[in-house]
Amino acid sequence: MTMTNPFLSQWNTPFEVPPFDLIKDAHFAPAFDEAFKQSRAAVDVVANADDDPSFANTIEALERADALMDRVAGVFMNLAGANSNDALEALQRDLAPKWAAFNSETMMNAKLFGRIDTLYADRDDLGLSGEQLRVLELYHEMFTRSGAKLVGDARDRLAAISQRLAELGTAFTQNLLADERTWFMELSVDDMAGCPDFLISAAHEAAKERDLASHIITLSRSLIVPFLQFSPRRDLRELAFKAWAARGENGGKTDNRAIVAETLELRQERANLLGYDTFSDFKLATEMAKTPAAVRDLLMAVWEPAKAAANKDAEKLTKLMHADNIQADLAPWDWRYYAEKLRKAEHDLDEAELKPYFQLDQMIEAAFDCANKLFGLSFTPIDAPLYHPDARAWEVKKGDRHMAVFIGDYFARSSKRSGAWCSRFRSQSALDSDVRPITVNVCNFAKAPAGQPCLLTFDDARTLFHEFGHALHSMLSDVTYGFISGTSVARDFVELPSQLYEHWLSVPEVLEQYARHADTGEVIPAELLKRLLAAENFDQGFATVEYTASALVDLAFHTGAAPKDPMQKQAEVLDSLGMPKAITMRHATPHFAHVFSGDGYSSAYYSYMWSEVMDADAFDAFRETGNAFNPDLAKSLHDNIYSTGGSKDPEELYIGFRGSLPKVEALLKGRGLG
């Protein structure tokens, strides 16, 4: 193999950012071939060593085993989500079972696990540091939960299940992206009548991207949600909403329903092979929640007050609709439109009035400034080759120390999957040298016309702060082992740093400095700011119901026998809950990517709410001092949460910051439901 493949050469770029200007689609397959070869060889050396096992020759050696794989996969997986194409999608389908097979081969290597098992049995006598002990325990747990103790047919079957689940998750994701990419609704100028200028401009820009002359609404949240909020055309709102809700269940080759059914069957079989009654029992055993019962108790404690609030709001919205001479039942495509009218009536808030104060660049600076005040970070733009012209990069420093490279990729496009997320091209570690992370935030905000600033909704700005909270968790990480760095924590703890960071967006002094009008530069008027903050919990019944319904359906899918017809099971769960007819699940099953694109949030979509109990309580610590940037609390937050990765049990980390674990009342209070 020649060294012309950039993955196999030194990266002479600022901070060794991947040389995206040199990387071509054709480089990935041979780079992965070499990465698999190197990783297998490294694992074999560890497994077949003649020396007695030690932490250094086993665990630390495994930490180094995937150096090339981490480099190649870090680039590939980010591009597959944020800037995909047919070639990358074909390679992703080819790689999914190969990755799964390699993982099973490693996790079920009897000699390798024997060495880890020996270390685990002797762990109290090895003189390990607290971090090393944690890493050893997590390695042993990972191997055990991956089938290392299985033998014979059970071992072979689990490996086959893992490969098939990888294929199904990839197919689910690509089907969803295909549905989102291909559907759009072309509209004339007259069809856009009554919509605010910012939505009309965004719809025109979306049309230009597809070489169309007028306006289109796509299935990007940044377009379809404001269209549902503002379009007075009930017929068009219905068409758009039904297309949005039908992603993944349109029949044909992109339909995800059969994939969901097979996925649930295989997950249940996997759990049984590993000695668990249900997949949920298996999944939650390593989370803070521990049991399905604990998760259901949390969700149901929130469900009833949220449903009551939503039903009360539905009555108000129905009256507004009837006042428009629409004598019909309130429908899901009506809710956002009449909720916007109700917000205007109750809080005198108009999105068109608010949006000019929330410029993307200003909100980025606000997020940076809060990180500076809390953690002493500075952000300097850098000139480095990136994977798309819309992406931009900053060097992150703390004093004179280089902490990270942060990449922001904020605009929606057809090559990017929907949603918003944080990922990384490189993880933090300090095993052999001080390796600092390259972290990326990916969003899907509507791109403004050339020469005009990108304007966000307040919810968009909250999303930006949320994902930046994840980025801080990655960039502030300061542990030795990459295995536990950054966001490598329990799923129901990982949302704490992100959801907690959202609170700083609502701090008045932050908004008074950064919420500046796009045309005049004037700071948001005090009276408008007061109304905005007073309305933060407006429509919280709706938001909580659509989220909690999704979490309860996810839990129900995984706490018993796999349903033969998941859509019927979804309907049964919603009916048993008394789901309000005018509200749908935030993520209906065929497009529930959190749960079915992989195992990440499977039986764990509740995680956002579990973390919210903590984030509401954690920010109260700052409120109680009267200083949102209290330096002593900020240092404790850094030392106990943001810099520690998974180096300790999450309960221990939280108690280290707050002194005790919170109760659900903190969440209900924060959402205005208690």
The CATH number of residue 49's host domain is 1.20.1050.40
User: Do 13 and 86 belong together in one domain?
Assistant: yes
SS3 state of residue 362:
helix
User: Do 514 and 545 belong together in one domain?
Assistant: no
Bin 642: left if φ > 0, else alpha if -120 < ψ < 50, else beta.
alpha
SS3 state of residue 16:
helix
> Does residue 268 have a pLDDT over 90?
yes
- Amino acid 670: pLDDT: 87
> Does residue 2 have a pLDDT over 90?
no
User: Do 290 and 340 belong together in one domain?
Assistant: yes
What's the rounded mean pLDDT across residues 107-114?
98
User: Do 491 and 416 belong together in one domain?
Assistant: yes
> Does residue 246 have a pLDDT over 90?
yes
Backbone angles phi, psi at 403, to 5 degrees: -105, -35
User: Do 282 and 137 belong together in one domain?
Assistant: no
CB 674 within 8 A of CB 668: yes
The CATH number of residue 581's host domain is 1.10.1370.10
What's the rounded mean pLDDT across residues 371-392?
97
List, in sequence order, every beta strand (DSSP E) within 575-643: none
Q: Please give the tally of structural domains in the chain.
A: 4
What's the rounded mean pLDDT across residues 128-141?
98
Structural domain boundaries, residue 85:
6-149
Residue 396 parent element (H or E): strand 392-398
User: Do 225 and 333 belong together in one domain?
Assistant: no
- Amino acid 674: pLDDT: 76
What's the rounded mean pLDDT across residues 206-213?
91
Amino acid 101 reads A
- Amino acid 407: pLDDT: 98
Amino acid 293 reads A
Backbone angles phi, psi at 144, to 5 degrees: -60, -45
- Amino acid 1: pLDDT: 41
User: Do 511 and 559 belong together in one domain?
Assistant: no
What's the rounded mean pLDDT across residues 453-477?
97
User: Higher confidence at residue 528 or residue 2?
Assistant: 528
User: Do 241 and 262 belong together in one domain?
Assistant: no
The CATH number of residue 369's host domain is 1.10.1370.40
Where do we find the tokens 């018993």?
Answer: 560
Amino acid 561 reads A
Q: Report residue 72 as tokens.
A: 């190649």
Say if 298 falls within a structural domain: yes
User: Do 16 and 92 belong together in one domain?
Assistant: yes
Q: Tell which of 554, 570, 605 closes a domain.
A: 605
Tell me which residue of 528, 201, 511 sits closest to 358, measured CA to CA.
511
Say if 617 falls within a structural domain: no
Say if 632 falls within a structural domain: no
- Say how far apart CA 575 and CA 307 lie, in whole Å: 13
Where do we find the tokens 């009360």?
Answer: 312
pLDDT tens digit string along 328-377?
999 999 999 999 999 999 999 988 899 999 999 999 999 999 999 999 99
pLDDT tens digit string along 271-285?
999 999 999 999 999
User: Do 76 and 216 belong together in one domain?
Assistant: no
Q: What is the DSSP letter of 562?
A: P
Burial 475-489 (b: 16+ CB within 10 A, else e): bbbbbbbbbbbbbbb
Return the active site residues. Answer: 467
- Say how far apart CA 464 and CA 361 lie, in whole Å: 11
User: Do 106 and 217 belong together in one domain?
Assistant: no
- Amino acid 3: pLDDT: 55
Q: Tell which of 247, 268, 291 closes a domain.
A: 247
Say if 642 falls within a structural domain: no
666 pLDDT band (50/70/90 cuts)? confident
Q: Tell which of 483, 508, 534 closes a domain.
A: 534
Paired with 426 in beta bridges are 438
Burial class (CB in 10 A: 0-12, 13-18, 19+), 197: exposed
Paired with 435 in beta bridges are 429
What's the rounded mean pLDDT across residues 505-527?
96
With pLDDT > 90 as the criterion, what percentage of the chain qualifies? 96
Say if 527 falls within a structural domain: yes
Say if 653 falls within a structural domain: no
User: Do 219 and 325 belong together in one domain?
Assistant: no
What's the rounded mean pLDDT across residues 469-474?
98
Say if 524 falls within a structural domain: yes
188 pLDDT band (50/70/90 cuts)? very high
Say if 311 falls within a structural domain: yes
Q: Report residue 157 as tokens.
A: 């079957």
Q: What is the DSSP letter of 1?
A: -
